[in-house]
Structure 1
Amino acid sequence: MQAVTLDRDGAAPAARDDLARPSPGPDEVLVRVRASSINGFDVKAAAGAMRGAMDYRYPVVLGKDFAGEVEAIGGTSEFRVGDPVFGVLMRSYLGDGTWAEYVTVGGADGIARVPDGVELATAGVLGLAGATALDTLDALDVRPGDTVLVAGATGGVGALAVQYARLAGARVVATARPGPATDFVRDLGAAEVVDYTGDLTGQVRALAPDGVSRIVHLAGDGAPLAGLLAAGGRLASTIGFGPDQHPAAVSILAKPDRTDLDRLADDVQAGRVRVPVEHRYELDEVPRALTEFRGTLGKLAVSLP
């Protein structure tokens, strides 16, 4: 089968077409992958930055998001061959990823059915970014009347966090560069936009003199952002800014489960949220896509035949 792999320690990611198709174990299903995406985690893994934290089992097939059809079932399963499914691999090691024509998905991974009306191409970019956005906002307990500052609003997680904060009834202040990025986050529902390349603190204080009640920290330095919190406010970070750095901060490690995935799919199906995609790449183009990850508006998608 075709896949994008790291073949040895220090190697650059590359496409190859000679890997054996995996077989599902007793608690697994085999998925014919039709769509995936590129996440910040994938970029770090491809660069070798997860060494020490996770075991690299070479050749490492990269990728976490997937959408496709169930091809085979290894044992008893609620799924049937042909079911459209999507989700996120949540393994403790790097080895059998989703940037491949086939992947086995087990009980520890997040997997759900794709509902009618949702394309596999959309489901393939939804899982990890969407679950991260949901888990972050759940940790913040966002409610109507909150002012939520989303730092890193233009990325895949940020684009969904802006929409979910708005749906929760919050006033959303998003960070973005002037121009297309500002238009992008306003279109997603941001009430105000601040230029993170300028005086961010001054701009936010002008909009919220007493501070903001909630902060979604997806980019930038967490310390000055935490200084913008109102009394009783909270900050949730996906990039390692937690209670050791500030008492009002919590560090988020997304754990996509069936509840999250079903909610995301239902919201996309109903038109409550959308997953903006800046560019789609074929599988053999993924090594180039990894170099183009930063500064995108929304997601980078991967398509398979």
Structure 2
Amino acid sequence: MRQQNDPPPAGSSRAVRLDSFGGPEVLDLREVPAPQAGPGQLRVRVTAAGLNPMDWIMTADAETAARFGLSLPAGFGTDYAGVVDQVGDGVTGFAPGDRVFGGALSRAVADFVVINQAEGTAADEAHHTPDGVDDRTAATLTIAGRTASAALAVVGLGPDDTVLIGGAGGGVGVFAVQLARIAGARVIGTGSASSADFLRGLGAEPVAYGDGLADRVRALAPGGVTAAIDLYGEETVHAARKLGVPDGRVCTIAARVDGVTAANGADAAPGALEEIARLVAAGRLRVPVAESFPVERVRQAVELQAGRHVRGKVVIDL
């Protein structure tokens, strides 16, 4: 029987595929022909793939999938880490044996991904994994790290700021809280009562979400809140408005609110992802991995991640 992380036999590989859109039940692990690197491409032997809400959101129904350019049959997952094992003609800066991480839109949960070097987008990219960053951690960085960086750029945090971050313990939240603290801001993060210690460990002052949020934040920060980032829906936006935060210093990622800027990973500044990887390597930013699953249990991994109560990231091991 093939063991975890054993190289696949020559010419064969595994990939998570779906023939219909829907929930975790449509995901199947299949034997497929191993893709080959052509001109301008590099092939990566994937060792870990990090999950994000967008993975199951964009494969939930045909209309949403079409907005991302997906059609059936489709793969699954975007964030990956692994080792380059093929380099096509014209590729520069990479060689077989290089450790890499990046994004491969809706095809990352597979033994191999082929990356077009010329694309250089979050949907098709590879970056060198810094020494000191393990593959599971590297596999969590691309979507969540870019998204957090883009959101912080919208509100422009500094040492004089107190920022309210909604959904602070989630996959994007763990990056947003720590990047805000690195910028010198005071961070108040929303979460459940059971997540309070987890949030404190990230550097946030915890506050319970739900009715009365604005009053609880006001009690924590009588001097006022100067910025807000809502990583879940709209609750934090409404609380921020009650606290007098101007819309120009409020950002969302999962909701669209009139007057408020919405950010996503595509908006991140050039070099943002590499800087996050450097912070991880330097020990200044840590990525809590809530749980890892073998690829054979991909459905259970997605069910856990889709429950939206995970503290940190969920990773698939290949």
Q: TM-score, normalised by structure 1?
A: 0.89
Is 1:189 the counterpart of 2:203? The answer is: yes
Distance 2:246 2:57 in 1: 35
* Bigger mean CA offset, 144-153 vs 192-201: 192-201
Quote how far apart the aligned CAs of 1:87 are: 0.8
Change (3 A) 1:232 1:2: closer
Quote how far apart the aligned CAs of 1:145 are: 1.4
Is 1:34 the counterpart of 2:47? The answer is: yes
Change (3 A) 1:31 1:138: same
Q: For 1:131, give the aligned amino acid.
A: R
1:282 paired residue among 282, 290, 294: 294
Distance 2:270 2:246 in 1: 35
Q: What SS does structure 2 have at the residue aligned with 1:46? A: coil
* Bigger mean CA offset, 167-176 vs 48-57: 48-57
Q: Is the 8 A contact 1:212 1:233 kept in 2?
A: no
Distance 1:64 1:51 in 2: 14
Q: What SS does structure 2 have at the residue aligned with 1:236? A: strand
Change (3 A) 1:65 1:257: farther
Is 1:265 the counterpart of 2:277? The answer is: yes
Distance 2:298 2:126 in 1: 23
Q: Is the 8 A contact 2:21 2:59 kept in 1?
A: no
Is 1:252 the counterpart of 2:296? The answer is: no
Change (3 A) 1:98 1:58: same
Q: For 2:125, give the aligned amino acid.
A: G
Distance 1:225 1:32 in 2: 45
Q: What SS does structure 2 have at the residue aligned with 1:286? A: helix
Is 1:230 the counterpart of 2:241? The answer is: no
Unmatched 5+ stretches in structure 1: none
Q: Is the 8 A contact 1:69 1:81 kept in 2?
A: yes
Distance 2:21 2:207 in 1: 41
Change (3 A) 1:176 1:10: closer
Q: TM-score, normalised by structure 2?
A: 0.86
* Bigger mean CA offset, 116-125 vs 224-233: 224-233
Distance 2:139 2:263 in 1: 22
Distance 1:268 1:14 in 2: 32
Is 1:156 the counterpart of 2:171? The answer is: yes
Distance 1:122 1:32 in 2: 16
Q: Equivalent pairs: percent with the same residue?
A: 36
Change (3 A) 1:254 1:231: closer
Unmatched 5+ stretches in structure 2: 1-12
For 1:62-211, what aligned pairs fall within 5 Å after superposition? Answer: 62-77=76-91, 78-89=93-104, 94=106, 97-106=107-116, 107-108=118-119, 109-179=124-194, 181-190=195-204, 192-209=205-222, 211=224
Distance 1:231 1:15 in 2: 46
Q: Is the 8 A contact 1:133 1:161 kept in 2?
A: yes
Q: For 2:15, give the aligned amino acid.
A: A
1:25 paired residue among 25, 38, 46: 38
Distance 1:85 1:163 in 2: 23
